[in-house]
Homo-oligomer: A and B are copies of this chain.
Amino acid sequence: MGGDQAPQMVVAGLRQAQKLHPNISFLLYGQEKLLSKLIPSDDPLRAITQIRHTDEVVTSETTVSTALRSLKKSSMRLAIQAVADGEAQGVVSAGNTGAYMALSKLTLRAIEGIDRPAIAALLPTVRGLCVVLDLGANVEATTENLVQFAFMGSLFARYVLGIEKPSVGLLNVGVEELKGHDKLKMAQLVLKNNPLIENFYGFIEGDDIAFGKTDVVVTDGFTGNIALKAIEGTAKLLSNFLKQEIQKSFLSKVGALLAKSAFSTVKHRLDPHRYNGAPFLGLKGIAVKSHGGTSAYGFSSAINVAVHLIENKVNERLAKDISLLSQHLVQEMENLSLAIEKPTPIKG
């Protein structure tokens, strides 16, 4: 639940998801009266939806500490708890990201071997789709975090996007001798030799995201959040500029009408609602974040992501392989420290 136009948007999203996934069922947390009105008893959606009443709500203004300490029965918390209790297989919310992540970490807990869960997102590129992570769960990232993000992103691309050997890139600045922080250089060295990530590409730059240079883009949450929003802002800017200019002349309006199919295909290819649904990777339960300002279609896309994660047992696979990764990571970091104490292999 949650989001800017909740609960109407959410309920409409459930309706769309019901059509796509005939075996799906929902536990819906919130104001029972309101929700019962939106889903009357003769509604086919009602047959697969249990409405569970609560008065407490996490808003976009709620601080994380209030969400964690005071609101013991918020709809967000109860929905996550349902996953922890095994009542639900996954949770989707369009509410306050910080509170949602904090409650998810507290309630679902991180998979053994994962130091920090990450928020991942799908982005359209020239070549198709890419997964970018982290998008804000961790403002800073250690070498170990980055390596784990690469690993989780790779599994996600394989099992949710269906890319057999996803290529993985580490986001960095282009200027040669300023090639990023030491943590990033170290992560590159570790990833180069890691048998669990078969297709490590190396460093990529900001423009390589849109060019689709790699299937997975790994970065810290600060950079990832800003890059993603910069991309969203630019897409909006461009379409606004074009709309403005087209409105200025009759000929342009006619032209735009004739080229309508091209415009709508591009709009569809870039539609943020299509790619809505950012999974929290690395938790012992499936939790997916929907954009707060999304549409019903967008909310159903977020539900799709959760369904894919569940059906492909991504968490089980992650938990299984992570111990191998951890062993390898410890060993590699030791080797690298030894190597760095001798002549440094890091070009600076």
A321 to chain B, nearest CB (A): 28
Q: Chain B residues with Cβ under 8 A from A238's Cβ?
A: 234-235, 238-239, 266, 270
Report yes or no: B241 in contact with A266, Cβ–Cβ below 8 A: yes
Q: In A147-187, which residues have CB < 8 Å from any B CB?
A: 171-178, 180-181
Q: Chain B residues with Cβ under 8 A from A225's Cβ?
A: 173-175, 205-206
Interface string of A110-137 (1 = CB under 8 A from B): 0000000000000011100000000011
Report yes or no: B226 in contact with A206, Cβ–Cβ below 8 A: yes
A262 to chain B, nearest CB (A): 4
Closest to A173 in B: B225
Q: Chain B residues with Cβ under 8 A from A124's Cβ?
A: 237
Report yes or no: A270 in contact with B241, Cβ–Cβ below 8 A: yes
Of the candidates B229, B245, B256, the one whose C-beta lies within 8 Å of that of A174 is B229
Of the candidates B180, B237, B347, the one whose C-beta lies within 8 Å of that of A210 is B237
Report yes or no: B235 in contact with A262, Cβ–Cβ below 8 A: no
Complex alpha-carbon distance, A232 and B238, angstroms = 12
A181 to chain B, nearest CB (A): 6
Interface string of A244-262 (1 = CB under 8 A from B): 0110110111111111111
A125 to chain B, nearest CB (A): 7
A218 interfacial contact with B, CB 8 Å: no
A47 interfacial contact with B, CB 8 Å: no
A223 interfacial contact with B, CB 8 Å: yes
